[in-house]
Chains A and B, each alone.
Chain A
Amino acid sequence: MADLSSQQGRWRDLDMLLARPGNIVSNGFEPSPTLREEIEEYVRVLVVGAGGLGCELLKDLALCGFKNIDVIDMDTIEVSNLNRQFLFRLQDVGKSKAEVAAKRVMERVSGVTIVPHFCRIEDKDIEFYSDFSIIVLGLDSIEARSYINSVACSFLEYDHDNNPVAETVKPMVDGGTEGFKGHARVILPGSTPCFECNIWLFPPQVKFPLCTLAETPRTAAHCIEYAHLIKWDEVHSGKPFDADDPEHMQWVYSEALKRAELFGITGVTYSLTQGVIKNIIPAIASTNAIVSAACALEALKIISGCSKTLSNYLTYNGLVGTHIKVTDFVKDKDCLVCGPGTLLEIEPSVTLYQFIEMLGKHPEILLSKPSVTHQGKNLYMQSPPILEEMTRSNLTLLMFDLLGKVSRDTLHVSGACEKNGKKVSCLRKLRVVFRGVGDGMTDMDTADRS
């Protein structure tokens, strides 16, 4: 068992930053020889993903002094991972990424505890995520990021002045890579943009029009997608296509070749076939190392305050030289995920029917025929007819009762509103506060708003 002095010796370099005062640091930074120990004892980090970014993140975070790390990943190890996911060896193929990664890092960095979770991120309940001081993402999909973002932002509360309540802010650091390019961003819900605020940053995925695939193919990719999306069902009706089954892949490849030959198109290879169908993103160790390092450094700075924080989005491009750009994006104040939502003060005696009428007249909301949901449950749906019928009886009930007799809560409403002269469907987040109920606050200055 290492004694204190050798522990200090071990972390000599890190302690330069944590134990010494500095002039370019975050507000509230309290340098101290025990800061690292406090981090070790009280801070829990969640790493989402144990792949290209995840492996690097676990190493980097462990060597930043974090002692309590959890890692979640539903995938198993494949041979094509081995060119960059350095915690895995050939004999690990088929095993859980999270479990092997955790084991390997614990073997090398003594004292760190890494708890693996071999499951989907949706399989954990909200309480699981609330235990972490910071969440670091090494994901490869928009959907997964969106999900974690909505979970982290769901903890966020705002005070009467529309400012985020510090204790409810769950910081996230998100990284992503593709070939020689990548990004790292800091998300402080309520202050910086959340993932949804800036979702337009991710370009939409290319989908070939069906008529091109069916009538006028021109490229090898068209022939491949024809075989994959059209021909497969024609021949194997009912049987789902499995991209991980080499026989299925081989079938698609030979059909694609046939089609290409028919149309005089060149370039169909097995490698391209895999790439198109699985949407394979080229990946190398160096880009993952760079982006993860940036993310881990930000996590260290956010938790300790030992320097300034990235504000707030870094893009990395190594194709021509090394190009790094930092952009300070502004959050969307109307964001449905991290925004406070429009504040609505109502009497506890208001019925759902009356509430819906108010929405149509409210100057900020102006939704016609709004439907109302609360924590995923439909309170009243305007359509389709069967849902309307099912929820109609709620209209005469009191809002106070429907929301579970709490003094305030968040609702979502959807309906039609006007944008640029066109009628579009809108989703709005609302904060409902019942006058005179509960937590002893004075509502004087908010009285005008509803």
Chain B
Amino acid sequence: MAAEPKTKYDRQLRIWGEQGQAALEKASICLLNCGPTGSEALKNLVLGGIGSITVVDGSKVETCDLGNNFMLDEQCLGQSRAKCVCSFLQELNDAVKAKFVEESPATLIDSNPSFFAQFTLVIATQLLENILLKLDRICRKANVILVVARSYGLSGLVRISVKEHNVIESKPDHFLDDLRLHNPWPELKEFSKSIDLSITDPVVHKHTPYIVILIRLAEKWADAHNGCLPSSRQEKKDFKDLIKAHMLNIDEENYKEAMEAAYKVSTVRGISSQISQIIEDTSIEVDSSSPDFWVLVAALKEFIENEGDGEPPLEGSIPDMTSLTEYYVSLQKIYQAKAESDCFAMERHVRNILKRIGREPDAISKAYIKTFCRNARKLTVCRYHTIEEELSSPNLPELQKYLTDEDYCFAAGFYILLRAVDRFASNYNRFPGIFDSELDEDMLRLKTIAFSIISDSGLHGSSLSEDLIHEMCRFGSAELHPVAAFIGGVASQEVIKLVTRQFVPMTGTFIFNGIDQKSQVLAL
């Protein structure tokens, strides 16, 4: 008796829709090490309906696993940890294909690097730095996304490694609507003119949509100011007064909305710097091997330079506003019509480019082009350094800033210390603080290593709190369940964004700080 997927996934379908869900269900994820960090990350993905999971872990379940891993109980003691975690996860969602490989990730990376090419994405947890570097090279070569996650006492880390990740549906929270009040096209102007602002009928007067009010008054203003729209502070204030002067009485919501939205007529024509960067990127020199995203961006550039007259395709929707229904519906139709005609022009550019580069002209669907047009102002391109690049040449000024900033210093300190404990491990074959008897010596050893990492990086005079180094030692590489669950949660959320290609993934290294919860993403 299977639960109808629509109902079971209802609460998440409302976030990423059917297409996002389909992308999740096609994805195959490989998890390296299924301690609590990896297990919790995978749990969230399994609950969401990820296509398939493969758990790689060579260890047997020990007593200490029972204290931090929910997926293991007494009956699992002595058995393969990968096998037990896998069977627990399978129970959570029988639609997910769950497999396991009983082998240590480090061994697998060395003996069979081509193993990873079959996956959409690899989640690597609790791996030492030197092993991660090897894995990163393998994943980059195979074009498999790598997500690194680590819990260590009250600290932790999540980062993404992939050459490039493009997002069309970035779905930001508060993005300005695309009303073009500063530059209305003929049909919109005509409609606005057809409405008498000084109509005496009080109901119609107070239900004239603010789009119309602002377009008419902006024109009135421009006529009196040499064709220019309000731009200085005083002018904007005066413009608002002009609007107010047209109010019949103070309960006219539409005029209040017009005053609140008055700044929209002062929008500067053109495209944002983010979009500008994207359309000037070298990747728009497309050829037959280019991803569809860049073909679309190349078309976008042509559109902006031609039909768009400096502006991107119209988004096409309008926000709700006080209005007579018929006016509102008419406005909706006008905006939709323009969006459609812009999309039509974009389509022509796309087909021409595809032909030019030797691909089928209808290789990119109309629906996809439409989605691209609607989101053209919100495109995001994420590029990530390799782990090696970040470690060998981090952004020093940023790191310096982080180490001295009150809100960032613990996170930055943990970043250095996570590297330091790995170096400690390769020197001494164990983590610092594992043994009570060596706590004090380990503290000094760790401190030496941490300071040498700092000076090797080229940071001069940056200090690391001794108390923090002491804490790192105190942690004794413990994997605490709440920290693992937090890190696993963050990692799983990034995986979802990467797989659905919706929302913007983090662009930096996330450091968890469980001391005062001032966790930060460090842009290194």
Cβ of B521 under 8 Å from chain A = yes
* Cα separation A20 to B473 with both chains bound (whole Å): 10
Is the pair B14, A322 in contact by a Cβ cutoff of 8 Å? no
Contact A320 B503 (CB under 8 A): yes
CB distance from A386 to the nearest CB of B (A): 36
- What would 20 A/B residue contacts be, using CB atoms closer than 8 Å? A11-B64, A12-B67, A24-B471, A56-B485, A59-B481, A63-B36, A63-B70, A86-B92, A218-B321, A265-B329, A282-B15, A285-B492, A286-B493, A289-B489, A290-B486, A292-B485, A297-B483, A308-B516, A318-B490, A324-B517
Q: In the complex, A283 Cα to B47 Cα: how many Å?
A: 12
Contact of A14 among B63, B173, B439, B480 (CB under 8 A): B480
Q: Once bound together, how far apart are the Cα atoms of A238 and B496, in whole Å? A: 47
Q: A79-B7, A86-B47, A108-B70 are in contact. Are A218 and B504 (CB under 8 A)?
A: no
- Contact call A290/B329, Cβ cutoff below 8 A: no
Asked if A268 lies at the interface with its beta carbon under 8 angstroms from chain B, I say no
Residues of A bordering B, CB below 8 Å: 6, 9-14, 16-17, 20-24, 56, 59-60, 63-64, 79-80, 82-84, 86, 89-90, 107-110, 179-180, 184, 212, 216-219, 263-265, 271, 275, 280-290, 292-294, 296-298, 300, 307-311, 314, 317-324, 326
Task: Establish whether residues B12 and A321, one from each chain, have CB atoms under 8 Å apart when the complex forms.
Answer: no
Residues of B within 8 A of A307 (CB): 154, 514-515
Q: B493 to A322, Cβ gap below 8 A?
A: yes
Q: Given A265-B325, A322-B490, A84–B68 Cβ distance below 8 Å? A: no
Report how far A264 CA is from B4 CA in the complex, Å: 33
Q: Which residues of A contact B1 (CB under 8 A)?
A: 90
A297: B residues at CB distance < 8 A: 154, 480, 482-483, 486, 514
- Complex Cα–Cα for A292 and B486 (A): 8
Q: Which residues of A contact B43 (CB under 8 A)?
A: 86, 285, 289
Q: When the two chains form their complex, are residues B70 and A16 in contact, meaning their CB atoms are under 8 A apart?
A: no
**Residues on the B chain within 8 Å of A180, using CB:** 15, 493, 503
Q: Considering the complex, give the chain B residue whose CB is closest to the CB of A281.
A: B11
Query: Closest A-chain residue to B479, C-beta based?
Result: A13
Q: Would you give the shortest CB distance from A56 to chain B, in whole angstroms?
A: 7
By beta carbon, the residue of chain A nearest B63 is: A9
B8 lies within 8 A of A83 (CB): yes
* B window 471-499: CB within 8 A of A: 471, 474-476, 478-483, 485-486, 488-490, 492-494, 496
From A10, A108, A264, A287, contact of B63 by CB (8 A): A10
A63 to B65, CA, bound (A): 11
Interface segment, B110-118, B417-425, B505-513?
B505-513
B471-A285 in contact (CB<8A): no
15 more contacts with CB within 8 A, not counting A84-B11, A264-B326, are A9-B62, A13-B67, A13-B478, A24-B515, A60-B482, A63-B69, A64-B480, A80-B11, A86-B47, A89-B91, A179-B15, A218-B320, A284-B11, A286-B489, A320-B172
**B161 part of interface (Cβ distance < 8 Å):** no
A20 to B442, CA, bound (A): 14
| Min CB gap A266→B, angstroms | 8
Residues of A within 8 A of B468 (CB): 24
A309 nearest in chain B by CB position: B516
Asked if A321 and B478 make an inter-chain contact with CB atoms under 8 angstroms apart, the answer reads no
Cβ of B44 < 8 Å from any Cβ of A? yes
Number of B positions contacting A (CB below 8 A) = 91
Nearest residue in B to A184 (C-beta to C-beta)?
Answer: B517
Known: A13-B64, A63-B67, A322-B494. A83 touches B12 (CB 8 A): yes
Question: Cβ of B126 < 8 Å from any Cβ of A?
Answer: no
Q: Is the CB of B325 within 8 A of A218?
A: yes
For window 186-243 of chain B, which residues contact chain A by CB distance below 8 Å? Answer: 207
B481–A22 CB distance below 8 A = no
In contact, B173 and A319 (Cβ under 8 angstroms) = yes
Does A285 contact B44, Cβ atoms closer than 8 Å? yes
Closest 8 CB pairs between A and B? A289-B489, A290-B489, A63-B481, A13-B478, A293-B486, A321-B506, A293-B485, A9-B63
Q: Which residue of B68, B474, B483, B507 is within 8 Å of A22 (Cβ)?
A: B474
Residues of B within 8 A of A59 (CB): 70, 481, 485
Within 8 A of A (CB), among B283-298: none
Q: Does B470 contact A (CB under 8 A)?
A: yes
B48 at interface (Cβ–Cβ under 8 A)?
Answer: yes
Tell me the bound Cα distance from A413 to B490 in angstroms: 48
Nearest neighbor of B382 in chain A, beta-carbon distance: A321
Shortest CB distance B333–A (Å): 9
Q: A17-B153, A180-B493 are in contact. Are A23 and B172 (CB under 8 A)?
A: no
A211, B475: Cα distance in complex, Å: 62
Interface of chain B residues 326 through 376 with chain A (CB within 8 A): 326, 328-329
Chain B residues with CB under 8 Å of chain A are 1-4, 7-15, 36, 40, 43-44, 47-49, 62-64, 66-70, 73-74, 91-92, 153-154, 158, 170-173, 207, 320-326, 328-329, 407, 433, 436, 439, 466-468, 470-471, 474-476, 478-483, 485-486, 488-490, 492-494, 496, 503-508, 510, 514-521
Docked-complex contact A64 and B3, CB < 8 angstroms: no
- Bound together, the chains give a CA A215 to CA B215 distance in angstroms of 25
Once bound together, how far apart are the Cα atoms of A184 and B40, in whole Å?
Answer: 19
CB pair B8 A79 closer than 8 Å: yes
The reply to whether A289 and B64 contact each other, CB–CB distance below 8 Å, is no
Taking the closest CB of chain B, its distance from the CB of A249, in whole angstroms, is 13
Which chain A residues border B8 with CB–CB below 8 Å?
79-80, 82-83
Does the CB pair B63–A16 fall under 8 Å? no
Contact partner, A282, options B12, B91, B474, Cβ 8 Å: B12
By a CB distance below 8 angstroms, the chain B residues around A320 are 170, 172-173, 503-504
State how many angstroms separate the Cβ of A106 from the closest Cβ of chain B.
11
A9 to B61, CA, bound (A): 12
Selected contact of B489 from candidates A271, A287, A309, CB within 8 Å? A287
Nearest residue, chain B, Cβ from A266: B332
- Measured in the bound complex, the distance between the Cα atoms of B320 and A218 in whole Å is 7
- Take A83-B8, A324-B520 as given contacts and tell me if A216 and B323 are in contact as well, using a CB distance cutoff of 8 Å: yes
**For the complex, what is the distance from the CA of A22 to the CA of B153, rounded to whole Å?**
13
- Say which residue of A64, A283, A290, A311 sits within 8 Å of B481 (CB atoms): A64
Nearest residue, chain B, Cβ from A108: B73
Contacting residue for A84 out of B2, B47, B474, B518, CB 8 A: B47
Q: Is A17 a contact partner of B474 (Cβ separation < 8 A)?
A: yes
Contact (Cβ within 8 A) B482 A293 = yes
CA distance A238 to B252 in the complex (A): 35
User: Is A16 touching B485 in the complex (CB atoms < 8 A)?
Assistant: no
Contact of A321 among B44, B63, B322, B508 (CB under 8 A): B508
In contact, A16 and B515 (Cβ under 8 angstroms): no
Q: Which residue of A lies closest to B35 (CB)?
A: A13
Residues of A close to B69: CB separation below 8 A: 63
Given contacts A289-B485, A323-B521, A324-B517, contact A318 B493 (CB under 8 A): yes
Question: Which residues of chain A are within 8 angstroms of B494 by Cβ–Cβ distance?
Answer: 322
Min Cβ gap A16→B in Å is 4
* B480 and A17 contacting across the interface, CB-CB below 8 Å: yes
Q: Tell me the bound Cα distance from A10 to B65 in angstroms.
A: 7
Residues of chain A within 8 A of B329, CB atoms compared: 218, 263-265
- Closest residue to B2 on the A side, CB-wise? A90
Within the assembled complex, what's the spacing in Å between the Cα atoms of A253 and B483?
44
Question: In whole angstroms, what is the CA distance A443 to B467 when docked?
Answer: 46
Centre residue among A89, A271, A321 by max chain B CB count within 10 A? A321
Inter-chain CA distance A216–B322, complex, in Å, is: 8
Q: What is the chain A residue whose CB lies nearest that of B203?
A: A215
The reply to whether A216 and B324 form a contact with Cβ atoms under 8 Å apart is yes
Within 8 Å CB of A14, what residues of B? 67-68, 478, 480
Query: Contacts A14-B478, A17-B480, A86-B92 hold; do A321 and B507 have CB atoms under 8 A apart?
Result: yes
Closest-by-CB residue of A relative to B469 is A23
B175 to chain A minimum Cβ distance, whole angstroms, is 11
